Amino acid sequence: MTLMTKFLGTGAALALTAGAALADPALIYDLGGKFDKSFNEAAFMGAEEYAAETGGSYKDIELQSEAQREQALRRFAEAGFNPVVTTGFSMSSPISSVAADYPDTKFVTIDGYVDPSEHPNVLSILFSEHEGSYLTGVLAALASDTGTVGFIGGMDIPLIRKFACGYAQGVLATNPDATVISNMTGTTPAAWNDPVKGTELASAQISQGADVIFAAAGGTGIGVLQAAADADILSVGVDSNQNHLHPGKVLTSMLKRVDVAVRESMAQGADLETGVMMLGLAENGVGYALDDNNADLITAEMKSAVDAAREQIIAGEVTVHDYSSDDSCPALSF
Amino acid sequence: MDKMPAWADAVLVPLISILLAALLSALVILAIGESPLDALTLMIEGALMRSSGWGYTLYYTTNFIFTGLCVAVAFHARMFNIGGEGQAMIGGLGVALVCLFIPFPHWSVALLVATLAAAVFGALWALIPAYLQAKRGSHIVITTIMFNFIAAAVLNYVLVNLLRPTGAMDPATATFPAATHLPTFQDMFATPDNPLFRGAPANVTFFLAVLACVAFWLVMWRTRLGYEIRAFGHSESAAKYAGISPVRITVVAMLMSGGLAGMMALNTTMGEAERLVLNATEGAGFIGIAVALMGRSHPVGIFLAALLFGFLYQGGAELALWTSIPRELITVIQALVILFTGALDNMVRMPLERVFLALRKGA
Amino acid sequence: MTQAPAIELKGISKAFGPVQANKDINVRVMPGTIHGIIGENGAGKSTLMSILYGFYKADAGEIFVAGRKTDIPNSQAAIAAGIGMVFQHFKLVQNFTVLENVILGAEDGPMLRPSLARARGVLKQLSEDYELSVDPDQLIENLSVGHQQRVEILKALYRQADILILDEPTGVLTPAEADHLFRILDGLRAQGKTIILITHKLREIMEITDTVSVMRRGGMTATVKTAETSPEQLAELMVGRKVLLQVHKTPARPGAPVLQIDDLRHTDRHGVERLRGVSLTVHAGEVLGIAGVAGNGQSELLEAIGGCVDASGSILLNGKALPLSGPGSDGAARRAAGIAHVPEDRQTEGLIMPFTAWENTVFGYHRDPACQTGPLMNNAAIKQQAQDKMTRYDVRPPNPALAARNFSGGNQQKIVLAREIERDPDVLLIGQPTRGVDIGAIEFIHKEIIRLRDAGKAILLVSVELDEIFALSDRIAVMFDGKIMGERAPESTDQTELGLLMAGVTASQAGDPIAAVDASLHQKERREARAHD
């Protein structure tokens, strides 16, 4: 709930400032499209929640081309939408080139980073995916009988390696003898939406002995989860809570609260506090999912282990290495 | 006897094709419960009634002029180069390499060298299919389309493994140095009290594209090379009879074609993104086919057709912004125009020819 | 003559845009006769027959078949009315048997077997009745052209045609095959069939028809009894003025050998050896005519000498060897060396049809410095010289800006001829100089060829028209299956002897000509079939 209070703190103070209510927020989805069952869809859910809770409305657009990134930003800013929320790291560079032209508009880049000293009207929201992944690694290591666990990434980019690296650290911290197998689906954006290949990779990992597989691969992960359920082993979902997809077969999901980030950004409207926001375990920006669907899979022992790990990270007693800080991973080689 | 006057062939056929496509598109829009008239107004206002709209329209137009000319050169030599997409990708690689690794003093020098690099890289990418066609008879349609995939894979490898800055997520190069940034229309035409083309990506490469149209006309209709290319395209046996080497013409025409496709990358890579991204071409190589067909492989026609498609792209973006027409349907509308102007050309032409015959008989 | 005409056309008119292809045609074709229709290219013969066969609809006029007014909206209706058509270009499926081709489109039901069985019987009967023997189980691709034509006739008869239209049937036949065809037609006439024969060859009209109708510029100028007319009169009716059918020429005064060809060989891209060791010499100031049925290597001979295809062997021009492959062996190099080439097919070789006339007047010579100014082509100069040439060679209309396809065949040929002889070459290769050319232009072209001969050029002439070969040549060489079968002087040979040579029969085999012809033709076909496999 720290995330909420952080947003609400600034929001409440300025809630009655004139003009704020006039502007609707806007949301720009990345090229993957609105209904990608993952990242963009989480953003859409957040926007819908905003609309339902506040009764307000919002404008959204699915991009078709690279040149439209800047265009959409400008057209929304010109039309008075505020804030303009965007998803995906690809939006950060267009925002950098546009933000200065519209100083009164607040821009939000989720997963992207824009230097706040250059562009004071931009909020960069980043998630500590490595910390959340660490926790799922801990659970995976405890749930595995074979001592071999798998990771399947989508497109091979540093962000996904960050997931994999955190996961591997969690596994090895729990069971130093465990083996982590890691595969990436591809190197193009198509890798985000290739469930067939996800199934293939999962089958390959299963044949190598993996009995828990973490899929951080967008739509491709659907195939991974399916293959794992079919082979009667466990899988770990990503971004949203995917436990319900195969009840009793999905060990847990690495939660990345894009929906909350979108909802709260929109709720604050024009008075959004800009800068860089790093959402980690402490802020509940990332975490692991526990619900009815996987309650039987997580034993009390496992739960206490993972909660302990969580407390240690928050307290700074354990530091999870962030792959993207130096493009290297101590626990896993790619 | 020609069945109908040249003006009817050049103007009336495409015009009717567009109207038919528009009609069908209107039905599509109507079917999802939006107003076609509002949609058209929105497209026109967004693409043509604001200077920044023009800035986007002309940005797309620039792409389509280059790829249209690319396809047209090959058409004149009776070859179907569907590899414009891949040639443009590799052209973009050439642009990126010179922009990143040569310290240019001024954008004009950078543009000159980058143009050369784009053309050479694009041309070389077309060389292998050309050689295979000329010497081995491998069909150019098959090889060029395969080379599109190879180009995408090569570019992907280079961007992901070699040119991506450390820690960056995007499979893209670093931003090019400021000295290589091309002046946009905003830089050129905006004044403090009249901010024309604000933020639009159209840039000096548009003029380069216009120049390419003129050069295309000169080469095709005023030089020996163009004469030989056109002769070869109309009849290979006649070309042989005249001592024109089929191998040479095939290779030269494809080099020109690939070079023009490569030059498209100047606009997207150097002019707009100022870095090389993975998906810089975005299908413009394929749109070029429709543009060349509609423009009758003539530079004036190609310019106009490219303008139309530029308008459709920018207008489509406006539709996506302000209506609830999903982007898939916008693609459907654009595809309808391509279908009618490109593929279904004869559907309009034949009845029209009959009308003209009947008219003449009546006269 | 109380019998109703088999076909009667009354006031048939048809226009294509501004072109009046047929105007007010009236003709009666009596049953049991062979009726010739003769006219120049573009006179409207084909249009008229297409109307009769249901391909076109007439703008005005009526058709009567056996006295009854009949509408013929499509070819099925024509077949139902008892009209059969044998096209110039056969409409046969190459990899079907004769039997399958005959029943194609006339099957009795969904199952083929009964149709085939019935057809086999009918075919046997027809073969016996009309001297139309063809092996019903042979594949079309294995048949000679003459036999393929018989299949076309059988197809029409199988559909119970009483009226048979043949469009230029002898264009692809050797004289012996043509003779056989005429015997078949004779037999059909004797059985009461009616035959309409479209041709431009006066000799055939005189030989076989009972009545002849002459067409000129879309109109029917006359219908006369063949017995009561003469070739001269028919030619005059066709052209509308007196025509010289004979080319007047003085005896040749041959000079030094200019073009010496020895053991010239060429294999096409399918692996068929098209030239199998051709040796020839052409002297200055003479016309060497190459006779032969189309497809026996004459085209390849011209192409090899003209530099269009690679070859082996040797070609000496004024005693100097020319490279036959690799650099310096293309058409441009041959032109530079002094060999001009009027190709057989002006539409796919000699001209670029969509190009303007002025662009075509430098085709092949466009690298000439006179055509260039700096990096550009000197279009103004090219247009100027094109205008001059067109005026001098009486090309009509004399408009250099018109596309080549908009000129008539004769005027297209004049453009090619003007271009090739203007550069004062030593050797002139001419293929089919008057194919598809109207009689008026033929006269002009023939005179021009003789004029060039008398100016001391060495001329190699290829033509499938024996009449033309006889009229122009000072020596005649006959080609068969990629070889020269023999050489004759025109005054000491005749059509029969040349016809045998054209069919591949050498003097030693001449005892049983027909058997020898069949044997040699089959040998050639088998060789080509093997190469294709």
pLDDT tens profile C213-241: 998 888 898 899 999 998 888 888 887 77
pLDDT, mean over chain B: 90
pLDDT band at C284 (very low <50, low <70, confident <90, very high): very high
Tell me the mean pLDDT in the region B65-78.
Answer: 97
Looking at the partner chain, which of A68, A159, A188 has a beta carbon nearest the beta carbon of B317? A68
Q: Does domain C7-239 have CATH number 3.40.50.300?
A: yes
Chains C and A in direct contact, meaning 3 or more beta-carbon pairs closer than 8 angstroms: no
Least confident of A224-233, B10-19, C466-475: B10-19
Residues from chain C that touch B243, judged by Cβ atoms under 8 A, are 307, 330-335, 364
Residues from chain C that touch B234, judged by Cβ atoms under 8 A, are 352-355
Residues from chain B that touch C353, judged by Cβ atoms under 8 A, are 234-235
Query: How many angstroms separate the Cα of B138 from the Cα of each of B123, B127, C308, C533?
Result: 18, 13, 22, 21
- Put simply, whether A200 touches B (Cβ < 8 Å) is no
Q: Which residues contact C246 (CB under 8 A, 6 or more apart)?
A: C471
Identity of residue C137: D
Containing structural domain, residue B211: 35-185+205-323
Tell me the mean pLDDT in the region C127-144.
Answer: 84
Cα C216 to Cα C223: distance, rounded to the nearest angstrom? 12
pLDDT at A6: 46
Residues from chain B that touch A98, judged by Cβ atoms under 8 A, are 199
pLDDT at A142: 95
pLDDT at B361: 60
pTM: 0.82
Q: In the predicted model, is pLDDT for residue A9 greater than 80?
A: no
Nearest residue in C to B234, CA atom: C352
Nearest residue in B to C353, CA atom: B234
Most confident of A203-207, B194-198, C89-93, C523-527: A203-207
Q: In the predicted model, is pLDDT for residue C263 greater than 80?
A: yes
Taking an 8 Å cut-off on Cβ atoms, the answer to whether B234 and C18 are in contact is no
Looking at the partner chain, which of C17, C306, C331 has a beta carbon nearest the beta carbon of B360? C17
Q: What is the pLDDT of residues B244-295, one digit of tens each?
A: 999 999 999 999 999 999 999 999 999 988 999 888 888 899 999 989 988 8
pLDDT at C530: 60
Å between C376 CA and nearest CA of chain B:
5
CA C506 vs. chain centroid, Å, equals 25
Nearest residue in C to B218, CA atom: C376
Neighbours of chain B (3+ CB pairs under 8 A): A, C
Window B:52-111, CB contacts with A under 8 Å: 52, 56, 59-60
Nearest residue in A to B50, CA atom: A75
User: Two tokens at C405?
Assistant: 């396809």
Cα B38 to Cα B40: distance, rounded to the nearest angstrom? 5
Q: In the predicted model, is pLDDT for residue C243 greater than 70?
A: no
Q: Which residues of C131-152 are buried (b: 16+ CB within 10 A; e: fewer)?
A: ebebebeebbebbbbbbbbbbb
How many residues belong to chain C?
Answer: 533
Q: In the predicted model, is pLDDT for residue A18 greater than 70?
A: no
Q: Which residues contact A34 (CB under 8 A, 6 or more apart)?
A: A40, A41, A44, A60, A62
**What letter would DSSP give residue A7?**
H
Q: In the predicted model, is pLDDT for residue A7 greater than 70?
A: no
Looking at the partner chain, which of C18, C354, C366 has a beta carbon nearest the beta carbon of B224? C366
| CB of B145 closer than 8 Å to CB of B82 | yes
Residues from chain C that touch B237, judged by Cβ atoms under 8 A, are 308, 345, 348-349
Domain boundaries, chain C: 7-239, 257-338+426-532, 353-424
pLDDT at B91: 97
Taking an 8 Å cut-off on Cβ atoms, the answer to whether B357 and C17 are in contact is yes
Q: Could you name the CATH architecture of C257-338+426-532?
A: 3-Layer(aba) Sandwich (3.40)
B263 part of a folded domain: yes
SS3 C212: strand
Candidates A63, A272, A30, A267; CA nearest to A159 is A30
pLDDT at B266: 96
Identity of residue A48: E
Q: Which domains are present in chain A?
A: 2-127+258-279 (3.40.50.2300), 129-254+296-326 (3.40.50.2300)
Nearest residue in A to B175, CA atom: A93
Q: What is the pLDDT of residues B138-153, one digit of tens each?
A: 999 999 999 999 999 9
pLDDT at C526: 63
pLDDT at C417: 92
Interhelix angle A300-315/A158-174, nearest 10 degrees: 120
Looking at the partner chain, which of A62, A74, A89 has a beta carbon nearest the beta carbon of B320? A62
Q: Which residues contact C153 (CB under 8 A, 6 or more apart)?
A: C84, C86, C132, C164, C184
Query: How many angstroms separate the Cα of C349 from the Cα of each of B232, B238, B244, B256?
Result: 11, 4, 12, 26
Q: What is the pLDDT of residues A49-83, one digit of tens each?
A: 999 999 989 999 988 778 888 889 998 998 899 99
Interhelix angle B107-131/B140-157, nearest 10 degrees: 130
| CB of B102 closer than 8 Å to CB of B113 | yes
Taking an 8 Å cut-off on Cβ atoms, the answer to whether C403 and B2 are in contact is yes
pLDDT at C528: 63
ipTM score of complex = 0.85
Cα B294 to Cα B348: distance, rounded to the nearest angstrom? 12
Overall number of domains in chain B: 1
Candidates A124, A88, A126, A84; CA nearest to A107 is A84
pLDDT at C108: 76
| CB of B69 closer than 8 Å to CB of B295 | no
Side by side, which strands form the sheet with C273-283? C273-283, C257-267, C312-317, C320-321
Taking an 8 Å cut-off on Cβ atoms, the answer to whether B199 and A74 are in contact is yes
Beta bridge partners of C264: C278
Helices vs. strands in chain B: H and E counts, helices first:
16, 0
B3 part of a folded domain: no
A148-155/A212-216 β-pairing: parallel
Taking an 8 Å cut-off on Cβ atoms, the answer to whether C335 and B243 are in contact is yes
Q: What is the pLDDT of residues B247-260, one digit of tens each?
A: 999 999 999 999 99
pLDDT at A20: 36
Q: In the predicted model, is pLDDT for residue C521 greater than 90?
A: no
Q: What is the pLDDT of residues C370-413, one digit of tens each?
A: 888 888 999 999 999 999 999 998 888 888 999 998 887 888 99
Please give the radius of gyration of chain A, using alpha carbons only, rounded to the nearest integer: 20
pLDDT at B294: 86
- Say which residue, C129 or C151, is predicted with more confidence: C151
Looking at the partner chain, which of A75, A187, A327 has a beta carbon nearest the beta carbon of B167? A327
Q: What is the pLDDT of residues C4-25, one digit of tens each?
A: 899 999 999 988 766 788 889 9
Residues from chain B that touch A189, judged by Cβ atoms under 8 A, are 278-279
How many residues belong to chain B?
Answer: 363
Q: In the predicted model, is pLDDT for residue C72 greater than 70?
A: yes
Cα C102 to Cα A28: distance, rounded to the nearest angstrom? 69
C257-267/A107-110 β-pairing: unpaired
Identify the CATH number of the domain in which residue B301 sits.
1.10.3470
Q: In the predicted model, is pLDDT for residue C345 greater than 90?
A: no
Q: In the predicted model, is pLDDT for residue B81 greater than 70?
A: yes
Residues from chain A that touch B60, judged by Cβ atoms under 8 A, are 67
pLDDT, mean over chain C: 87
Tell me the mean pLDDT in the region C477-489.
Answer: 92
Q: Do domains C7-239 and C257-338+426-532 have the same CATH topology?
A: yes
